[in-house]
Amino acid sequence: MIKAINGIVSKETAIYRITTLWAFSECGLGGLMHAFKFPFTGIFVGGLSVLFITLIALNSRNLKQDIFKALTIVLLIKLAVSPHSPIAAYFAVSLQAVLGFLIFRLFSTNLASILILTVVTFLASAIQKIIILTIIYGNSLWHAIDQYIFWVAKKLDYNTFNSETLVYLYILIYAVSGVIVGFLIRKITTNVDKVNLEDMPKNIQPSVLKTTKGKKSNLFFFAVLLIFIIIALYLSNNSNSPFSDGLYIVARSIIVITIWYFVLSPLLFSLLRKTLTNKETQLSIQIDKITNFFPLLKSIFIISWNQTSHYKGLNRIEKFVSKSIAYSINYNEIE
């Protein structure tokens, strides 16, 4: 339960504002990281997603209804506000919600279930990225990495490191991060109730949110032309040289990306839109209220960040997130 200064905020209000925070993190932080191809997006965005799913579970009377209603709203807002996010991001957030529902339904909401959800979510993100790399570049990518590592290892008289080790190391980083973030989430959910709401300004001015529009380009023509050039070069060289292997990897990746970007991805987006169309009409009022609250959220984050300036490192992040959540849920709820 999340407390206010005078009494207790209703569960419905808490879930509504948590959904607002979830949608903002997916469209703001998630969209930005996907746009700039940030390598550990799954850790940051996935961690916030697990945090908000956990908070919903802690305040829910009907776990299934509340989690999937929040998910639907988040996906609809993400489609409208953050169209540059890849279809894989929609799959990831949906998987997180499904896992959250199943794990919290089976084990209730406690430290153990939070840790399980966070680690499983992070591992799924890491494995998804590895699968995508293999689909795009094929096994030739891992072969090329092995050849390069072998060449470096030979120079250093060390020959036990290969691409398989890299994959395991990458998965291990996500697993360990899942444990750390899981403990941090548990601490945040506990400390939200302890935030002193008297520190929250009574009149917060909304910040201006900047939006960017995508530009049309001749990417399709360029990609097709490049495919033909690379394939022609590849076919003219039948040797098994590193140059030929490189041409094959590049040709394969361009073909897969082109098919995905211009054929499969639009089809999947169209399917997603059709699936959510009926829900959009039913939830339109709530979606408008949530998106209208976004500029105020930005101001709340700035205030919370400034108020936690005397803390350092992870401790500051924990205090900042706790304050941001408490302020976001309780703002305008205190008379």
pLDDT digits (tens, 9 = 90+) for 259-281: 666 666 667 667 766 766 666 66
Mean pLDDT, the chain, rounded, equals 76
Torsion angle, CA of 248/249/255/258, rounded to 10 degrees? -150
pLDDT score recorded for residue 134: 73
Tokens linked to 109: 């909401």
Inside any domain, residue 137? yes
Measured from the Cβ of residue 185, the count of other Cβ atoms closer than 10 Å reads 25
One domain, residues 183 and 322:
yes
Distance CA 303, CA 135 (A): 44
Inside any domain, residue 278? no
Q: Per-residue pLDDT for 126 more than 60? A: yes
Residue with structure tokens 């279930």? 113
Inside any domain, residue 2? no
One domain, residues 265 and 288:
no
Distance CA 292, CA 297 (A): 10
One domain, residues 133 and 178:
yes
Q: Per-residue pLDDT for 238 more than 90? A: no
pLDDT score recorded for residue 3: 45
Inside any domain, residue 4? no
One domain, residues 237 and 287:
no
Residues spanned by the domain of 249: 218-272
Q: Which of 41-45, 157-161, 236-240, 246-250 has the highest mean pLDDT?
A: 41-45
One domain, residues 146 and 258:
no
SS3 290: helix
Distance CA 95, CA 89 (A): 10
One domain, residues 224 and 108:
no
Question: Averaged over 39-63, what is the pLDDT?
Answer: 87
Distance CA 233, CA 241 (A): 13
pLDDT score recorded for residue 89: 80
Give me the percent of the chain exceeding a pLDDT of 90: 28
Inside any domain, residue 72? yes
One domain, residues 125 and 33:
yes
pLDDT score recorded for residue 36: 42
Q: Is the pTM of this model over 0.85?
A: no
Q: Per-residue pLDDT for 192 more than 70? A: yes
| Structural domain count, the chain | 2
**Higher per-residue pLDDT: 72 or 37:** 72
Inside any domain, residue 208? no
One domain, residues 119 and 257:
no
Question: Averaged over 103-120, what is the pLDDT?
Answer: 94
One domain, residues 20 and 159:
yes
pLDDT score recorded for residue 120: 94
Give phi and psi for 195, each to the nearest 5: -65, 135
Cβ contact 308:317 at 8 Å: no
One domain, residues 102 and 239:
no
Question: Averaged over 1-7, what is the pLDDT?
Answer: 42
Alpha carbon 32 to its chain's center: 10
Distance CA 87, CA 267 (A): 10
pLDDT score recorded for residue 6: 38
Inside any domain, residue 47? yes
One domain, residues 233 and 295:
no
Residue 165 pLDDT grade (very low, low, confident, very high; cuts 50, 70, 90): confident
Inside any domain, residue 264? yes
One domain, residues 192 and 326:
yes
